[in-house]
Amino acid sequence: MPATLFDKIWAKHAILTRPDGATLLHVGRHLVHDGSSQAFRTLADQGLTVRRPDRTFATADHYVATTAQGGARSLDDIAVPERRHLVEALAANTAKAGIAHFGLNDLRQGIVHIVGPEQGITQPGLLMVCGDSHTATHGALGALAFGIGSSEVAHVLATQTLWQSKPRSMRISVDGRLAEGVTAKDVILAIIAQIGAAGGTGHVIEYAGSAIRSLSAEGRMTVCNMSIEAGARAGMVAPDETTFAYLSGRPYAPKGALWDKAVAAWKELPTDPDAVFDTEVSVDATAIVPMVTWGTSPEDAVPITGRVPDPDRAPAERREAMRRKLDYMGLTPGEALDGVKVDRVFIGSCTNGRIEDLRAAAAVARGRKATIPAMVVPGSGLVRAQAEAEGLDRVFRDAGFEWRYAGCSMCVGMNGDTVAPGQRSASTSNRNFVGRQGPGARTHLVSPAMAAAAAVTGRFTDVRRLTGG
């Protein structure tokens, strides 16, 4: 029978299926971070050991500080003792289990969903899990990847398996040529605005179409990263030459004859021509323009050329929720988003902390000056080093942006990097929930280029006016 990319990977990793439909899956790669201490504690309490340390990889990201007070990174930079303990515990637990750990002063340290792909740990055809909702990022390289809870992390550590019920399948085809100045972040925000924050619930999404194929591997990661914001279990892009070129030569990627064998297998993964999806969605790429969110959900996104929606013109069942969102965000129905004053800017996160993201932001910042506080947080130590080798750090510093060390930073607001109550943030992260970047913080999701445009103008600005796009 014709099969989808998702079907093929699921079948490859299925061990057995119970009468109730739940399937025991073999896990190809398990990524852990500094929020995993409870899972390791569960193993210790039950006298269990890590089943496959060679298929488990760890890095600290959520709780690490992005500053280095003494000129070199130190645990002492983490101000909250409980959070410092979590970073220490990860190092201790992984050392005891023999798990590869990219620690605080390892150049490979960074956000787990950036480290996996750049190390070549993420590969087509794998089933990957991590105790973090944005694990869907890895699907951009043709893997089936999804987030799991703490008890499931313990189960995978102990058995290298996981019980799951098979989701439905959805294909979102984005066809047409993206206009100048439109990025992968704009694509995924436009998709979520179209299908809604619950549009992908119960599904694994495969992104397809000419516009998706035109994206770089890093752009595809941005799209897959935010699949969870559409309610989906995972997001995927079929592997192709772009995927293979990205992975070639990476530390954990196959080498020599094994590489040739792997690529031959990966070429069999794309969805068969006659395969049927449970749901099909079409998106017109030519209609997408730079996007910005106005509310407290990623689905609350409109073009920068648009206006704040009026609850009175919305369906009756949505009006009260929209009014609450606008009250929290301090916006007025009908207000033009282009020109809304911004208080601070954050460029980083597992959505937009890669080298291409920093290049896009630097292209806007070059030769200009930030008029409001702006922070740039590379997604990993290697991204930071590459940016410095290219002189991007000097571009940002000359423009008055802060240049930080790798970590989740202001995306999660649990590591010292927060937005003050009532302040409006232009953020390249993935969530604009109430209080996500700090109590009372007002978060607007944008692309790296749009964030840099906000930094140098002090307000939301159509970046195409600055770049000539």
Residue 261 lies in a domain: no
With both helix axes pointing from N to C terminus, report the angle between 217-225 and 184-195 in degrees, rounded to the nearest 10.
30
pTM: 0.97
Q: Which residues pair with 129 in a beta bridge?
A: 30, 146
Q: Are residues 436 and 360 in the same domain?
A: yes
Domain boundary among the residues 287, 317, 344 is at 287
Token pair recorded at residue 280: 């099909």
Q: Which residues pair with 444 in a beta bridge?
A: 426
Q: Can you say how many angstroms the Cα of residue 173 is from the centroid of all Cα atoms in its chain?
A: 20
Q: What range does the domain containing 224 cover?
A: 168-239+267-287
CATH code of the domain in which 305 resides:
3.30.499.10
175-201, pLDDT tens digit by residue? Answer: 999 999 999 999 999 999 999 999 999
Q: Which pLDDT score, from 0 to 100, does residue 70 have?
A: 77
List b or e across 15-27, with b for residues whose CB sees 16 or more CB atoms inside 10 angstroms.
eeeeeeeebebeb
Q: Are residues 175 and 160 in the same domain?
A: no
Encode the chain (469 residues) as per-residue pLDDT tens digits.
999 999 999 999 999 999 999 999 999 999 999 999 999 999 999 999 999 999 999 999 999 999 998 778 999 999 999 999 999 999 999 999 999 999 998 999 999 999 999 999 999 999 999 999 999 999 999 999 999 999 999 999 999 999 999 999 999 999 999 999 999 999 999 999 999 999 999 999 999 999 999 999 999 999 999 999 999 999 999 999 999 999 999 999 999 999 999 999 999 999 999 999 999 999 999 999 999 999 999 999 999 999 999 999 999 999 999 999 999 999 999 999 999 999 999 999 999 999 999 999 999 999 999 999 999 999 999 999 999 999 999 999 999 999 999 999 999 998 999 999 999 999 999 999 999 999 999 999 999 999 999 999 999 999 999 998 6
348-395, pLDDT tens digit by residue? Answer: 999 999 999 999 999 999 999 999 999 999 999 999 999 999 999 999
Domain boundary among the residues 165, 193, 220 is at 165
Q: Is 421 exposed, middle or buried (0-12, 13-18, 19+ CB in 10 A)?
A: exposed
Domain boundary among the residues 110, 130, 165 is at 165
Token pair recorded at residue 295: 């509310």
Q: Are residues 117 and 206 in the same domain?
A: no
> Domain tally for the chain?
3
Query: How far apart are the C-alpha atoms of 258 and 262, rounded to whole Å?
Result: 6
Residue 255 lies in a domain: no
Q: Are residues 157 and 172 in the same domain?
A: no
